[in-house]
């Protein structure tokens, strides 16, 4: 599953590679660029069917407008298909040209006059459409979209939704504990009824974000109590003369 597809003319590969590099610098990892050696169209595969599939799966299309793009019927068709499917569309001028009239209701972004301002507007537009690089993850479409009674795993972060408030609350709590130093409680506990989604929240919601932006000096260990809480943790509880502090987070 791809978050952002870059639409471009084959004569504008350099501009497309530059856009891909900028997106990656912003933290975006779920990208599709047809000639990318890893995420692009594989040798021997149908390029047309691959593009159709990517257009179905992506969340947004960035169209790099140039005279060559405007002259390409296929590039125009990509944007028409994306619009018909309700994808977010970002027309970006990388060479002086006029945006297609059929997309006159979509504000184009001009990188030819004031590139810095143009990139700022593109970044803002992506965020407004929910494409925050901190919340966008790659997903293997071969994985089941719903695991049934099993918990969602880290590999399911891209399709784990509806728990944004719980994820944010947990991350804020962990960050607060870290900033308070050694005097702070030493662990966080997700507390909730059986089947309320504690494991899914931790595995598919919190852990992928901690791995993407690891806090300094913070070790990430996840465990459940199982049948014997005192021995099933990844480490043994130290013997202390006073209780070990912690914080409970409702899940």
Domain count, the chain: 2
DSSP at 32:
E
For residues 162 and 100, membership in a common domain is answered with no
For 94-114, how does the pLDDT look when each residue is reduced to its tens digit (9 = 90+)? 999 988 777 788 899 999 989
Cβ atoms 136, 28 nearer than 8 A: yes
Per residue in 137-150, pLDDT tens?
A: 777 778 888 888 88
Q: pTM score, two decimals?
A: 0.63
Mean pLDDT for all residues in the chain: 83
In a domain, 216, yes or no: yes
What are the start-end ranges of the H helices in 6-98?
A: 13-25, 47-57, 67-71, 73-84
Domain check: are 167 and 213 in the same one? yes
**Is the pLDDT score of 120 beyond 80?**
yes
Nearest alpha-carbon partner for 39 in 79, 6, 87: 6
d(CA 210, CA 29): 16
**Which CATH number do you get for residue 91?**
3.40.50.10140
Signed CA dihedral, 135, 22, 70, 107: sign only: positive
**Residue numbers of the domain that contains 113:** 4-128
């Amino acid at each position: 599953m791809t978050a952002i597809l870059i639409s471009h003319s084959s004569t504008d590969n350099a501009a497309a590679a530059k856009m891909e590099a900028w997106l990656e610098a912003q933290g975006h990892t779920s990208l599709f660029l047809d000639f990318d050696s890893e995420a692009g169209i594989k040798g021997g595969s149908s390029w047309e069917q691959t593009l159709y599939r990517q257009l179905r799966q992506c969340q947004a299309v960035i169209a790099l407008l140039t005279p060559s793009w405007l002259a390409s019927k296929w590039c125009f068709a990509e944007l028409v298909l994306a619009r018909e499917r309700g994808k977010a569309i970002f027309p970006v001028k990388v060479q002086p040209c006029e945006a297609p009239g059929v997309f006159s209701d979509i504000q184009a972004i001009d990188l030819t006059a004031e590139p810095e301002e143009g990139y700022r507007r593109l970044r803002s537009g992506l965020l407004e459409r929910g494409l925050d690089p901190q919340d966008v993850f790659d997903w293997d479409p071969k994985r089941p979209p719903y695991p049934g009674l099993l918990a969602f795993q880290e590999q399911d972060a891209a399709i784990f939704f509806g728990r944004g408030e719980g994820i944010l609350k947990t991350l804020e709590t962990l960050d607060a504990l870290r900033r308070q130093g050694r005097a702070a409680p030493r662990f966080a506990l997700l507390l909730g009824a059986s089947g309320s989604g504690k494991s899914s929240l931790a595995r598919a919601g919190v852990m992928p974000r901690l791995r993407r932006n690891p806090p300094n000096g913070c070790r990430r260990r996840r465990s459940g109590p199982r049948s014997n809480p005192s021995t099933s943790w990844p480490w043994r509880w130290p013997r202390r003369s006073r209780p070990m502090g912690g914080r409970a987070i409702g899940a």
